[in-house]
Amino acid sequence: MLESVSTIVVPVDFSNASETLLRSAINVARAYDAEIHLLHVYQDVFSVLSMRTFDLSEEVVENVMLKEIETKFDQLLTSVPCGVPVKRVLRKGETAEEILDYAKETATDLIVISTNARSSIEQFFIGSITQRVVRYASCPVLTLHALDAEE
């Protein structure tokens, strides 16, 4: 058992598993009187899609995305009453690296993360965000299976 926990990072993608993941983190936070950092990592749309052909401004697209993310944070926090301090965090970049960097920067005591429901073949070729976080995190990582979380 952990001796003390003051900061818990909970990476969320706003899937159905996010609510159960947050509920689990809240239980841990209550036990340790800890603060939750809800972390969402988003991709650079222009690096993922070739949207420049549509004459869209990167700033305009990103602002729309950020508003949508804030709405999703609101919905998640409305559906799961916390009762513990929660900080919303947005990071832009590659998901696993941003989670690891943020955890290191904030001296996180625990990461609570969901596994994905990808097939074994997909995980073999692309790897798993959760696998990388578990492997390289400088703090303990509590994983929750996504399929269990969605039931």
Identify the CA nearest to 109 among candidates 21, 3, 5, 10.
5
Residue 48 has pLDDT above 60, yes or no: no
Q: Give pLDDT, residue 127.
A: 60
Q: Is residue 67 in some structural domain?
A: yes
Q: Tokens for 88?
A: 């919303």
Q: Which of 59-68, 84-93, 135-144 has the lowest mean pLDDT?
A: 59-68
| Domains identified in the chain, total number | 1
Q: Is residue 2 in some structural domain?
A: no
Most confidently modeled range among 34-38, 119-123, 145-149: 34-38
What does R_g of the chain's alpha carbons equal in angstroms? 16
Q: What average pLDDT does the segment 130-151 reach?
A: 82
Range of the domain at 18: 7-150
CA distances, 9 to each of 53, 58, 69, 125, 137 (Å): 37, 29, 17, 27, 11
Q: Is residue 116 in some structural domain?
A: yes
Q: Is residue 1 in some structural domain?
A: no
Identify the CA nearest to 73 among candidates 88, 58, 95, 59.
88
pTM of the model: 0.85
If pLDDT is split at 50, 70 and 90, which confidence band does 149 have? very low
